[in-house]
Amino acid sequence: MLKIIETPRDAMQGIKEFIPTKKKIAYINALLKVGFDTIDFGSFVSPKAIPQLRDTAQVVEGLDLSDTKTKLLAIIPNLKGAQIAESFDQINYLGYPFSISNTFLQLNINSDIGKSFDETEKILNLSHKSGKELVVYVSMAFGNPYGDLWSPEIVYEWTRRLHQIGVKIIALSDTTGVGNPDTIGDSFRAVINEFPEIEFGAHLHTHPENCTENIKAAFDSGCRRFDTVINGLGGCPMSKQKMIGNLKTRNLLQFLKEHNIDHGLNLRAFHNARALEAFTFPSGLSIPKS
Ligand code: HMG
Ligand code: MG
């Protein structure tokens, strides 16, 4: 079964105007009724880095998980974040933003590949003790906008190491939207059959115009886990690149419909959540078309 990870965290993190905690809670509660596999709902990061998500601890306490199978994922940039997230029983997954780009790691979490790999291992050990699962994002998986070395072989090599320490879920990520069907297909093909124990996902920051071909490249290479955002907003504000948005949920659903693949979502609840967007996100944001 295909898994959809709805990702309001990525949509909200770059918005300067603070979205009130109550609005975040109401919106995420609406998303919890839709039937997504997981909601990447917030992050435990430095409030200086991402002021928008400084209320994640209050948000999680306001969520209604009484009638949902959807699991919660929080992004944590270090062991400290993992220790905070660990104290919330409501959270199932810790998401760690690893990367094969030293430049991005420096910008995003003031780290480098070696340090970040060691931190991954520490977080993985903690997650085992606390009964949570770790999702490792491998940013710059489909190309590199900073001029750092990139190739599917590098993606393979770091996946091999992550596999060796016991990572079970990896989301290959296109933080700045430089991927194309060739590079997306090449990177997935480099790892997906080599590590059958790992669940691979696609975290695509992609323009609406080329999202279908990028989804297809990931899907045809065997990926069955996709991160989406209903209004397609978002990106990493630390990347020093233009935020081009996230894969729109509707565009993924369209692709699935055309390929007769069941998504299992409650479409009425989906439309209710969409209707709440205008009350949640500040007005004047440029929402990607289509
Ligand atoms: P640093 O300045 O090197 O860290 O930042 P530090 O250890 O010196 O701490 C600085 C301050 O942050 C201290 O507070 C710490 O206590 C605090 P002060 O003493 O100055 O008051 N701090 C924290 N507070 C809350 N939670 C924490 C935490 N850690 C330290 N976990 C640091 C390093 C990693 C903290 C910082 O760079 C950071 O928070 N970065 C996160 C950036 C971020 O959230 N980026 C977006 C999410 S990742 C993403 O979008 C990519 C993804 O979508 C995939 C893709 O698209 O490719 C997942
Ligand atoms: Mg992202």
Q: Is the CB of 139 under 6 A from ligand 1?
A: yes
Spatial CA neighbour of 179 closest among 153, 147, 215: 215
Q: Is the CB of 137 under 6 A from ligand 1?
A: yes
Q: How many other CB atoms are there within 10 angstroms of residue 289's CB atom?
A: 9
Which residues sit opposite 95 in a β-bridge? 75, 135
Give the number of the atom of ligand 1 that is nearest the alpha carbon of residue 139. 57
Ordered structural domains, the chain, with CATH: 3-280 (3.20.20.70)
What are the CA-CA distances from residue 148 to residues 100, 103, 144 (Å)? 9, 7, 6
Q: Is the CB of 13 under 6 A from ligand 1?
A: yes
Query: Helix (H, G, I), strand (E, B), or coil: what is residue 106?
Result: helix
The conformation of residue 16, written as its DSSP 8-state character, comes to S
Q: Is the CB of 173 under 6 A from ligand 1?
A: yes
What are the CA-CA distances from residue 188 to residues 135, 160, 199, 279 (Å)? 16, 13, 11, 38
Give the number of the atom of ligand 1 that is nearest the alpha carbon of residue 77. 34
Spatial CA neighbour of 248 closest among 261, 264, 234: 234
Extract the tokens encoding 2. Answer: 């295909």
The conformation of residue 20, written as its DSSP 8-state character, comes to P
Extract the tokens encoding 82. Answer: 């993992």
pLDDT of the chain along its 290 residues, tens only?
A: 899 999 999 999 999 999 999 999 999 999 999 999 999 999 999 999 999 999 999 999 999 999 999 999 999 999 999 999 999 999 999 999 999 999 999 999 999 999 999 999 999 999 999 999 999 999 999 999 999 999 999 999 999 999 999 999 999 999 999 999 999 999 999 999 999 999 999 999 998 899 999 999 999 999 999 999 999 999 999 999 999 999 999 999 999 999 999 999 999 999 999 999 989 999 888 777 77
CA R_g for the chain? 17
Closest listed ligand to the CA of 138: 1
Ligand 2 centre distance from Cα of residue 205 (Å): 7
Residue 1: the pLDDT is 81
Closest listed ligand to the CA of 173: 1
Ligand 1 centre distance from Cα of residue 47 (Å): 7
Give the number of the atom of ligand 1 that is nearest the alpha carbon of residue 82. 31
DSSP per residue, 41-100: EEE---TTT-GGGTTHHHHHHH---TT---EEEEE-SSHHHHHHHHT-TTEEEEEEEEES
Kindly report the pTM of this predicted structure.
0.98
Q: Which of 7, 9, 46 is the best mutation target for the ligand 1 pocket, counting ligand atoms within 8 Å of the beta carbon and taking the most?
A: 46
Extract the tokens encoding 249. Answer: 């949920």
Question: CA angle, 173 as apex, 24 and 258 as ends, to 5°?
Answer: 85
Contacts of 129 (CB under 8 A, 6+ apart): none
User: What is the Cα–Cα distance from 262 to 236, expressed in whole angstroms?
Assistant: 30
